[in-house]
Amino acid sequence: PGVKPGTAVLDAAQAGPADSGITVEQFKQDYRNKVERMYGDGLERVSDLDKYNALVSLVRDYLAEPWLNTKEKYRRTGAKQVYYFSIEFLLGRLLGSNLYNLGLNEVCQQALSELGLDLRTLRQVEEDPGLGNGGLGRLAACYLDSMASLGLPGHGMGMRYRYGLFEQRIVDGYQREYADDWLMDGFYWDVRKPAEAVEVRFGGNVRIKSNGKTQYIHEGYETVLAVPYDVPVVGYRNGMVNTLRLWSAEARLSEVVCAPQGGSDCQKAVEYSQTVEELSNILYPDDSTYEGKALRLKQQYFLVSAGLQSIIRNYRENNGHLREFPHKIAIHINDTHPVLCIPELLRILLDEEQLTWEEAWNITVQTMSYTNHTILPEALETWPEDLFRTVLPRLYLIVRDINEYYCRSLWEAYPGDWDRISRMAIISYNRIHMAHLAIVGCHSVNGVAELHTDILKNKIMKEFCDFSPAKFNNKTNGVTQRRWVSLCNPALAQLITDTIGPRWVEHPQELAQLERHSADTAFQHHLLKVKLQNKVALAKYVKEKHGITLDVNSIFDSQVKRIHAYKRQTLNVLHIMALYNRLKENPLLDIEPHTFIFGGKAAVNYHIAKNTIKLINSLADLVNNDKSIRDKIKVVFLENYNVSLAELIIPATDVSEQIPTASYEASGTGNMKFMMNGAVTIGTLDGANIEIKQAVGEDNIIVFGLTAEEVLAYYRGGGYNPWEVYQDNERLRQVVDQLINGFFPAAGDLFRGHFDSLLHQGDHFFVLKDFASYEAAHQVLDERYKDRPVWLKMCSANIAHSGRFSSDRTFAEYATDIWHIRPDTLPFSASEKQIR
């Protein structure tokens, strides 16, 4: 608590194509009025929080008209709508991005400054919305930005969690978790829509009535009220405002009978409301393991059922029969969490619309598409059949029917091959396999990077791919350059615009034009200045928050992401330990000064990951306080890594650590953000790193380590022998021993778990195996850095070739290949690209 990551403010010269039409004078007037009307007090007397809230409220006023116009246009043109269902949307702060996309940033900055206020300070008041964990949720947020900015009629469907993932504090080197009460001061961006609330039903039983036609009557269920909160999603200077609809669980207490005796029974009603609201209270705090808890299943159904009901209600108001549904609506399922969309849409079509199974099934499959984000076995969702039947009795019957039809078709294709059929079935050994349901019920299944999709097609989902190859396709992830360059690194954005003009903000592939300037001394000089300025800003934050002084002339080397064994923060640590040992042996060792930056949360119950945080902090204590190495290296662990902190770290970073065990990181998206900001990647050939290498060329990235093929081959052969590697490499042996030999004076046996997993448990993630090549890669990196013009050319090449990793590119691909929305059918023509 206390110091929050700051925010950068854009320069006026970054004005893009369309103008908001609002003058500084008008803005000032509107803002004063807003403060007075909201607080009955003058601007001079209200708090920063009040000022921030009033500013949000004013921006919302400004975007009301385009929001309304966008909805009107969708209605009028009947454009096909995409709904992106995701259990997480990691939005980050919205004030800056909304002002920027509305084209109001400069006006607002100027107006506030004339009123004696600072936009940067007010932007810092905003809490990061606690609606996601990591990569999967942040990707969904990038896609919202791209959908609106590309003029695609695409909306988000998500959960409005009362509490986010915990707030991380570091106490004595350990992670401590505190409630992330992000809604405490209210969230002024969303609009509660109680009139559009729907009911979601849980439990009870299904009575089958048969008089000519079979009817399924769901009885004895419990009802939860789903109330939508709509968040505007502003497109970049194109007059478009899409909607992110977040659902909150509420109890309608007025419907709960308090007994005539009153008293304790009304108390019960309140208790009941608390159990209902529990549904949207918590965000499950891990994105890489699966928690088979009933509450999670309920949450998933809650999101899906509420979302689909509202889509269908809206559809009916504007369209005819549901037979046309797939021509007007596309539903995208972000990983398996919203897969219940499939049986839920079937339920509505069968039970409420009375369509035949065949009709309902065809509509469902044509409407749904699914993205897989991980092959980690521990993340693949399966539900016990009994639990599923109890919580969702009607959906259970539907899933059973889907399974039966599907297994029949498998039988026709593979008669007698029971083993294969049971491996591919949706229900087997009393469990429901959500990924299988997704593959069967969707017309498209995609992975998130080429290697990941290959692994899906040839390994994890091979049998499904053999059965229906046409479904499988790749969509390599992307991130929005608007948040991840323009907003978080305005100085770089300015330099790019000065060099190649402003079109790159909307056409990121034009960044390639920078290539021509990459060896240019003036350009390089500016690039260096920008990086230094960003390092100074980060160093200031680190000093205020952690009391550590950073050398802004050192290499800033960052690994910021969730703490996970497969992401191998431990490999990074062992390398730093080895470097430290070398410096201790030879204090005159000629190395570039380094600042190693870490950040990331460990899941609450993931003990070894939590110990990794302690390990990093122990190393930081040792290294930062050892005068003998003369500040050649520093190590910092930045507390509570989140979107806002990323916006501060990424622009200041020289070296981007992307070092997972090959085959494990489906794509990665941090790698893309760092690249766009001119950091050079040191990485394994995994996920999107491979495509980054293709884009920048092998001279502009440093790769090391086993390939995915090699890793998988070792697994097939039963692993490898870490002892051999340990025996053969003295420097490695030293650092591994130091985990347990008192090198960390206060640690005792704390890191024995790490030691054992490396040496005695087969080193599942090949940390020791990749160590030597990682160390060599770092040496290459140092060499390159020493020759500054060469280094800056590498940085420029990374920026120049990052256009391919824009979520604009990814989303255009989803739109054409999966949702079949042709750009020429989009409701906004180029001439309409202005706010008013």
CB atoms within 10 A of CB 318: 12
Q: Is 441 helix (H, G, I), strand (E, B) or coil?
A: helix
Nearer to ligand OX2, 16 or 134 (CB): 134
- Chain contacts with ligand OX2 (rule: CB under 6 A): 134-136, 139, 287-288, 335, 373-374, 379, 448, 477, 665-669, 687
Task: Tell me the CA distances in angstroms from 555 to 552, 732, 782, 788, one per residue in order.
Answer: 8, 23, 9, 12
Nearer to ligand OX2, 436 or 526 (CB): 436
Going by the DSSP 8-state scheme, the letter that residue 445 receives in this structure is E
Is 80 among the catalytic positions?
A: no
Q: Is 5 helix (H, G, I), strand (E, B) or coil?
A: coil
* 732 within 8 A of 574, measured Cβ to Cβ: yes
How far apart, in whole angstroms, are the C-alpha atoms of residue 554 and residue 557?
9
Q: Nearest CA to 447 among 477, 479, 480?
A: 477
* 650 within 8 A of 488, measured Cβ to Cβ: yes
Catalytic residue among 612, 669, 684, 810: 669
Residue identified by tokens 């008293």 is: 263
Pairing relationship of beta strands 222-234 and 191-192 according to DSSP bridges: antiparallel
Is 607 among the catalytic positions?
A: no
Nearer to ligand OX2, 360 or 435 (CB): 435
Q: How far is the CB of 521 from ligand OX2 (least distance, A)?
A: 37
Residue identified by tokens 């790159």 is: 504
Catalytic residue among 337, 431, 443, 562: 562
Q: How far is the CB of 383 from ligand OX2 (least distance, A)?
A: 16
Catalytic residue among 123, 535, 575, 673: 673
Q: How far is the CB of 391 from ligand OX2 (least distance, A)?
A: 22
How far apart, in whole angstroms, are the C-alpha atoms of residue 498 and residue 516?
14
Is 669 among the catalytic positions?
A: yes
Query: Which amino acid, one-letter code, is at 822?
Result: R
How far apart, in whole angstroms, are the C-alpha atoms of residue 4 and residue 166?
16
Q: How far is the CB of 400 from ligand OX2 (least distance, A)?
A: 26
Catalytic residue among 561, 601, 634, 793: 561
Is 567 among the catalytic positions?
A: yes
Q: How far is the CB of 666 from ligand OX2 (least distance, A)?
A: 4
Q: How far is the CB of 337 from ligand OX2 (least distance, A)?
A: 8
Nearer to ligand OX2, 142 or 747 (CB): 142
Q: How far is the CB of 244 from ligand OX2 (least distance, A)?
A: 18
Is 77 among the catalytic positions?
A: no
Q: Which two tokens stand for residue 131?
A: 């609606």
Q: Nearest CA to 344 among 373, 306, 391, 384?
A: 306
Catalytic residue among 160, 373, 575, 601: 373
Q: Which two tokens stand for residue 313?
A: 């209600």
Q: How far is the CB of 380 from ligand OX2 (least distance, A)?
A: 9
**In 438-592, at which residue ranges do the beta strands (DSSP E only) sit?**
444-447, 472-474, 555-560
| Dihedral angle of Cα 792, 794, 798, 800, to the nearest 10 degrees | 70
How far apart, in whole angstroms, are the C-alpha atoms of residue 623 and residue 768?
22
Q: Please give the distance of CA 358 from its chain centroid, rounded to a whole number.
A: 36
How far apart, in whole angstroms, are the C-alpha atoms of residue 69 and residue 691?
39
Pairing relationship of beta strands 164-171 and 655-658 according to DSSP bridges: unpaired
Going by the DSSP 8-state scheme, the letter that residue 636 receives in this structure is E
Q: How far is the CB of 129 from ligand OX2 (least distance, A)?
A: 18
CB atoms within 10 A of CB 234: 30
Catalytic residue among 51, 160, 567, 610: 567
Task: State phi, psi for 370 to the nearest 5 degrees.
Answer: -140, 140
| Residue 458 burial (C-beta neighbours within 10 Å; 0-12, 13-18, 19+) | exposed
Nearer to ligand OX2, 382 or 477 (CB): 477
- List residues with catalytic annotation: 373, 561-562, 567, 669, 673
